[in-house]
């Protein structure tokens, strides 16, 4: 048995911690905020799985591959769809109470699915229900371990939960990840050793000012893995949810609302999606998001309107209580009037490159959930596949702990001869080392650049401008010497992560001279099937035992 460090407490991290504990490992679960705080809590639509007699794994695979626009890894998709039903049954055993009707478990239809296969809980509170059940399971495992008598029942506690503890960097020794540097609630940095580290820190919605993610989604795991020398891939593919409520806080308006029959209108009252795609409002997310963005551009930036009035108050309040509450808080009654919606950053298809067992290019390091780029989503994630991917690949990562690769899937960063050629960091060496007089980047500036130039609609000219702007900033100063206050230290580490990720994301988007899935460029509006994946590496060449501020990216083919 081994010492396992799990970082992150969304669905992926909680499943990894539970599975590793049950397998007999000694587990430390670290999370930046309180244990229940994660992206998972905010997931509304549900979890997709072929659980019903009129559905099949093959049908789910076809829908997933189609949505992925030619960039899915077929092996990862097969794993996702084949093992998905078993993982959903695991969630039920862990206490998730999915909604039911007279026929059994209730299921919904969402965009780009050919079958109704999306399970939900609490109407539109699926993520919160899953998070609550898994947190309770983790706490039960931790309490059980705490009461063991050392030397009689075992070697001691097997699951330790450390809340309000942030990942700062990974520790690399002898070419292997052997732990992490953490910032604790006392403001002290400490190094924690482990035989294996499982990253489950979620995405980086905070790269953008308008996002459905909580503020803690700052890409900490992806940034730390990149700085340590792990390969990251396909960062240019950031999915923008088409319908976030266009009010402060941009609360999500689930795709399931359109699945129930709600429609989109522009300022003139025209149902514009009918002329865009055969699926209309249920077209793939990237299509709907771009169409909304185009309509908004033609009406001076005003949001479009989502009309759900035809569904009736009873259905809206019982099926979508979370959205109903958000509307009321904004002074809107969506049962009687259309509500304003606009795209917002939602999910990252890119991340730390892994094989189908969660293994990264660095021995000892695993990545699961939104932190990972498993290849299951390709260029555009199918709705409600994210929770499923987190459960499936977290389970597989634990099963692969300490096992040498046998499946032949390459995570060494060789993307093949047909990969996208990108660019390296244009900043001078002095800027990379933090010794220049350039101004320090701040979150507001990073978000402004990313939204304007690397958002829903992109162009080579805009991306080049973004790269130049980012090149004119220095990486935020981090550590207690920069500011002794704990909250400011956390913000500085987060902003530094966002800065690192913004640079390599823009470089990847600039290198992909095509439009595909969630990546759309007006100067290259057609797709190029010969292009495969962008893979980025830092130039970390030495063992990392402290914060690495000098790594420079290279995006390779």
- Better-scored residue on pLDDT, 410 or 95: 95
Average pLDDT, the chain: 90
Q: Given pLDDT bands bounded at 50, 70 and 90, which one contains residue 203?
A: very high
Element spanning 245, H or E: strand 238-245
In 404-522 the beta strands, taken as DSSP E runs, fall at none
Question: What is the chain's percent helix, strand, coil content, to nearest 5?
Answer: 35, 20, 45
For 416-556, give the CATH class: mainly alpha
Coil/strand/helix, residue 204: coil
Q: Please tell me the least confidently modeled range out of 164-168, 245-249, 478-482, 514-518.
A: 478-482
Q: What would the mean pLDDT of 223-248 be, rounded to a whole number?
A: 96
Q: What is the pLDDT of residue 539?
A: 64
CA distance 454 to 462: 8
SS in 3 state form for 255-307? HHHHHCCCEEECCCCCCHHHHCCCCHHHCCHHHHHHHHHHHHHCCCCCCEEEE
Q: Given pLDDT bands bounded at 50, 70 and 90, which one contains residue 538?
A: confident
pLDDT in tens, 492-537: 999 999 999 999 999 999 999 999 999 999 999 999 999 999 999 7
- Better-scored residue on pLDDT, 325 or 555: 325
Q: Is the pLDDT of residue 121 over 70?
A: yes
Pick the CATH number of 242-344 from 3.90.700.10, 2.40.37.10, 3.40.50.2300, 3.10.105.10: 3.90.700.10
Q: What would the mean pLDDT of 411-420 be, rounded to a whole number?
A: 38
Q: What is the pLDDT of residue 552?
A: 45
Q: Is the pLDDT of residue 413 over 80?
A: no
Q: What is the pLDDT of residue 284?
A: 83
Q: What is the pLDDT of residue 557?
A: 37
Q: Is the pLDDT of residue 441 over 50?
A: yes
Q: Is the pLDDT of residue 476 over 50?
A: yes
Q: Is the pLDDT of residue 334 over 80?
A: yes
Q: Given pLDDT bands bounded at 50, 70 and 90, which one contains residue 194?
A: very high
| Domain locations along the chain | 242-344, 416-556
Residue indicated by tokens 């292997």: 176
Q: Is the pLDDT of residue 285 over 90?
A: no
Q: Is the pLDDT of residue 216 over 50?
A: yes
Q: What is the pLDDT of residue 463?
A: 98
CA distance 38 to 42: 8
Coil/strand/helix, residue 188: coil
Active site residues: 285
Which tokens go with 262? 């709600």
Q: Is the pLDDT of residue 419 over 50?
A: no
Q: Given pLDDT bands bounded at 50, 70 and 90, which one contains residue 154?
A: low
Q: Is the pLDDT of residue 309 over 50?
A: yes
- Better-scored residue on pLDDT, 550 or 299: 299
Q: Given pLDDT bands bounded at 50, 70 and 90, which one contains residue 272?
A: very high
Q: Given pLDDT bands bounded at 50, 70 and 90, which one contains residue 540?
A: low
Q: Please tell me the least confidently modeled range out of 62-71, 77-86, 281-290, 405-414.
A: 405-414
Q: Who's near 454: CB < 8 A, 6+ residues apart?
A: 236, 238, 462, 463, 466, 502, 505, 506, 509
Dihedral of CA atoms 430, 435, 436, 440 in degrees, nearest 10, equals 120
Residue indicated by tokens 């905070």: 206
Q: Given pLDDT bands bounded at 50, 70 and 90, which one contains residue 548?
A: very low
Q: Is the pLDDT of residue 430 over 50?
A: no
Number of residues that this document lists for the chain: 557
Q: Is the pLDDT of residue 193 over 60?
A: yes
Taking every pair of C-alpha atoms in the chain, what is the biggest distance, in angstroms?
74
pLDDT in tens, 23-36: 999 999 999 999 99
């Amino acid at each position: 048995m081994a010492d396992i460090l799990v970082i992150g407490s969304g669905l992926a991290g909680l499943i990894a911690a539970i599975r590793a504990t049950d397998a007999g490992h000694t587990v430390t679960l670290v999370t930046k905020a309180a244990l229940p705080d994660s992206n998972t809590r905010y997931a509304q639509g549900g979890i997709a799985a072929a659980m019903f007699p009129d559905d099949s794994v093959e049908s789910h695979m076809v829908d997933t591959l189609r949505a992925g626009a030619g960039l899915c890894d077929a092996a990862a998709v097969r794993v996702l769809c084949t093992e998905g039903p078993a993982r959903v049954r695991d969630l039920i055993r862990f206490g998730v109470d999915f909604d039911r009707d007279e026929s059994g478990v209730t299921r919904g239809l969402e965009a780009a699915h050919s079958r109704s296969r999306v399970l939900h809980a609490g109407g539109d509170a699926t993520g919160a229900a899953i998070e609550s059940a898994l947190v309770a399971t983790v706490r039960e495992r931790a309490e059980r371990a705490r009461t063991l008598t050392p030397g009689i029942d075992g070697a001691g506690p097997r699951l330790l939960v450390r809340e309000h503890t942030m990942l700062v960097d990974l520790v690399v020794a002898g070419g292997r990840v052997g732990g992490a540097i953490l910032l604790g609630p006392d403001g002290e940095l400490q190094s924690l050793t482990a035989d294996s580290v499982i990253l489950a820190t979620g995405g980086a919605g905070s790269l953008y000012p308008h996002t459905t993610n909580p503020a803690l989604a700052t890409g900490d795991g992806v940034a730390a893995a990149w700085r340590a020398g792990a390969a990251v891939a396909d960062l240019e593919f950031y999915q923008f949810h088409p319908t976030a409520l266009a009010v402060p806080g941009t609360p999500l308006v689930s795709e399931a609302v359109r699945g129930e029959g709600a429609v989109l209108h522009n300022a003139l009252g025209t149902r514009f999606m009918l002329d865009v795609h055969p699926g209309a409002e249920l077209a793939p997310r990237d299509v709907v998001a771009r169409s909304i963005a185009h309509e908004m551009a033609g009406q001076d930036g005003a949001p479009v309107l989502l009309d759900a009035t035809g569904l009736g108050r009873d259905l809206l309040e019982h099926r979508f209580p979370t959205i109903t509450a958000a509307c009321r808080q904004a002074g809107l009654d969506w049962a009687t009037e259309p509500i304003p919606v606009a795209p917002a950053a939602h999910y990252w298809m890119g991340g730390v490159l892994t094989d189908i067992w969660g293994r990264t290019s660095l021995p000892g390091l695993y990545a699961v959930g939104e932190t990972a780029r498993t290849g299951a989503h390709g260029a555009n994630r199918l709705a409600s596949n994210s929770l499923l991917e987190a459960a499936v690949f977290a389970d597989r990562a634990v099963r692969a702990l300490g096992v040498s690769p046998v499946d032949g899937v390459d995570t060494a960063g060789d993307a093949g001869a047909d990969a996208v050629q990108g660019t390296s960091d244009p900043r001078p060496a002095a800027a990379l080392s933090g010794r220049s007089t350039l101004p320090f980047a701040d979150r507001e500036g990073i978000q402004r650049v990313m939204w304007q130039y690397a958002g829903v609609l992109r162009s080579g000219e805009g991306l080049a401008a973004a790269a130049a702007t980012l090149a004119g900033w220095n990486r935020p100063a981090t550590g207690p010497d920069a500011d002794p206050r704990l909250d400011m230290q956390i913000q500085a580490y987060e902003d530094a992560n966002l800065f690192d990720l913004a640079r390599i994301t823009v470089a990847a988007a600039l290198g992909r001279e095509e439009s595909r899935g969630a990546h759309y460029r007006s100067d290259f509006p057609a797709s190029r099937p010969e292009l495969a994946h962008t893979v980025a590496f830092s130039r970390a060449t030495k063992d990392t035992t402290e914060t690495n501020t000098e790594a420079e990216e290279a995006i390779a083919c």
